C-alpha cells in the first residue's frame, strides 16, 4: 500500500510540474513555490489556493498546490518529495502541527524557506508565518457586541451566550481571551461560555437549545465560527424566535455567516482575513526567498493595519479581522463572498 500511494503521490507531483494541478506558469517567472494545503473540503481552503496563486503571481512566482486530504502521512510525504524538487519556497498549512516539524526542519536545513500559512507552528523555526490575529478577532467582536447591547438596552448590559469551538484549539481560546478581556470593563454583562466539542455544529445547536431554556433572557449569542451560527439559528427557530429577537455574532467570515446577515438572523460576522493573510505571504516573498532581513513593525495589508514581530519561531505577521454587517456584507473584499481581489499586491521594500 505504501509503495502504491507513493507512486500516486509522485505522479501527482509530476502532473504539478507539468502545470496540470494549477494554472499554467507565465513564460518567465522567478520560480516555483509549492503550497501544501491540508484539505480542499471547505471554502476557506479552496479560496486560499486561489488567493495564494493570484498574489504570488503578482510578485512573479508560480504556485503549485498539493492537497493532503487532511492526512498527516500524505503531507509528510509531500514535503519530503517537494524538498527534492528544490523549489524557491514551501508554503505550509499543516494538517498536524507537531508531525510536520521534522519536514520543516529538513527543508530549512536544505536552504528552502518554509512559510507557515494560517496555522502557526511555534515549536520550530520557519522563514515566515502569516496568521490571523485571533486575540484581535476577539477584541473586534467585543467592540461590535458592546455597540449592539448599547443600541438595544441603552447601555452595555445584558446576558451573552458564548459558544466556543473545541477547547483544545488555540484559535477559539485566543478569541475567547480577547473577547473576555475587552468585556471585563462592563460588570453588567453576564457571559455564559460553553464549548462545542470538535467544532461540531450539532453540539452548538444543543448548547443554544439548552441555554435558551435555562436562560430565556439571553440577549446575544456569540459563536466562534459561522457554521456554528447555522445550528444556533435552527435552535432559535425551534424555540419560535424570529430574526433579530436574539442578536447573533460570529467569527471567521464564511459564506454561510454572510448569508445569515442578509437574512436578518445575524448582526455581525468578524472575518478571519484570508485574503490579507495570503497577500502578506506574497508581499514578503522576495525577502523570504532571498533570505533578506525582515524587520518588526506595522504594515498595511489590503488596508488592514497589521504587525510584523520577530518571534522565537521566526518573523510573524498577525492580521486583524474586520467586522461585517448588513451595511457592508456585499463588499468583495470579504472572502466569504468568494471574489478574490483583482488589484495586484506589491513586494515590500
Task: Quote the DSSP letter at residue 337.
Answer: G
Cβ neighbors of 45 (< 8 A, separation 6 or more) are: 37, 38, 39, 93
pTM to 2 decimals?
A: 0.83
Q: Domain spans of the chain?
A: 2-126, 134-271
H or E segment at 298? strand 297-301
Query: Do 134-271 and 2-126 fall under one CATH topology?
Result: yes
307 forms bridges with which residues in the sheet? 298, 318
HSE-up of residue 281 (Cα within 13 Å, Cβ side): 35
| CA–CA gap between residue 336 and residue 327 (Å, rounded) | 15
pLDDT value, residue 97: 81
Cell digits of residue 223:
459563536
- Locate 11 and state its grid cell: 505522479
Contact 200, 229 (CB under 8 A): no
Phi then psi for residue 137, to 5 deg, are -60, -40
Q: Burial of 77 by CB count in 10 Å (0-12 exposed, 13-18 middle, 19+ buried)?
A: buried
pLDDT for the residue numbered 233: 98
| Beta carbons within 8 Å of 53's beta carbon, 6+ residues apart | 22, 23, 35, 63, 65
Cα 58 from chain centroid? Answer: 22
pLDDT of amino acid 3: 36
Instruction: Pick out the chain residues at pLDDT < 50.
Output: 1-27
Q: What is the DSSP string of 102-146?
A: HHHHHHHHTT--EEEESS---SS--SEEEEE-HHHHHHHHHHHHH
What's residue 185's pLDDT? 97
Q: Which residues pair with 103 in a beta bridge?
A: none
Structural domain 134-271, CATH architecture: 3-Layer(aba) Sandwich (3.40)
Whether the CB-CB separation of 156 and 189 falls below 8 Å is answered with: yes
Backbone angles phi, psi at 264, to 5 degrees: 90, 0
CATH superfamily of this structure's domain 2-126: Response regulator (3.40.50.2300)
- Rounded CA-CA distance 206/213 in Å is 11
Amino acid at each position: 500500500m505504501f509503495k502504491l500511494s507513493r507512486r500516486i503521490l509522485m505522479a501527482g507531483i509530476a502532473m504539478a510540474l507539468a502545470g496540470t494541478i494549477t494554472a499554467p506558469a507565465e513564460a518567465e517567472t522567478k520560480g516555483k513555490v509549492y503550497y501544501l494545503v491540508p484539505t480542499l473540503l471547505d471554502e476557506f481552503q479552496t479560496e486560499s489556493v486561489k488567493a495564494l496563486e493570484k498574489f504570488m503571481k503578482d510578485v512573479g512566482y508560480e504556485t503549485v498546490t498539493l492537497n493532503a486530504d487532511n492526512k498527516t502521512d500524505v503531507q509528510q510525504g509531500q514535503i519530503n518529495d517537494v524538498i527534492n524538487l528544490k523549489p524557491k519556497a514551501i508554503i505550509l498549512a499543516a494538517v498536524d502541527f507537531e508531525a510536520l516539524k521534522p519536514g520543516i526542519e529538513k527543508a530549512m536545513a536544505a536552504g528552502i524557506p518554509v512559510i507557515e500559512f494560517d496555522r502557526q507552528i511555534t515549536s520550530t523555526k520557519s522563514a515566515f508565518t502569516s496568521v490571523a490575529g485571533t486575540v484581535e478577532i476577539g477584541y473586534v467582536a467585543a467592540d461590535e457586541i458592546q455597540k449592539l447591547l448599547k443600541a438595544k438596552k441603552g447601555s452595555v448590559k445584558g446576558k451573552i451566550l458564548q459558544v466556543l469551538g473545541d477547547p483544545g484549539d488555540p484559535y477559539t481560546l485566543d478569541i475567547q481571551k480577547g473577547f473576555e478581556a475587552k468585556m471585563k470593563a462592563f460588570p453588567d454583562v453576564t457571559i455564559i461560555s460553553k464549548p462545542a466539542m470538535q467544532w461540531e455544529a450539532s453540539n452548538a445547536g444543543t448548547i443554544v437549545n439548552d441555554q435558551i431554556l435555562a436562560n430565556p433572557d439571553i440577549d446575544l449569542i456569540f459563536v466562534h465560527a459561522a457554521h456554528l451560527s447555522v445550528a444556533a439559528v435552527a435552535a432559535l427557530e425551534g424555540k419560535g424566535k424570529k430574526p433579530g429577537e436574539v442578536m447573533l455574532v460570529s467569527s471567521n467570515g464564511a459564506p454561510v455567516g454572510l448569508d445569515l446577515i442578509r437574512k436578518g438572523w445575524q448582526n455581525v460576522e468578524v472575518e478571519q482575513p484570508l485574503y490579507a493573510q495570503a497577500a502578506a505571504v506574497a508581499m514578503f516573498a522576495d525577502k523570504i526567498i532571498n533570505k533578506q532581513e525582515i524587520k518588526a513593525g506595522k504594515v498595511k495589508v489590503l488596508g488592514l493595519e497589521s504587525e510584523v514581530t520577530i518571534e522565537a519561531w521566526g518573523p510573524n505577521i498577525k492580521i486583524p479581522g474586520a467586522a461585517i454587517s448588513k451595511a457592508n456584507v456585499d463588499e468583495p473584499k470579504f472572502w466569504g463572498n468568494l471574489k478574490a481581489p483583482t488589484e495586484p499586491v506589491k513586494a515590500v521594500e
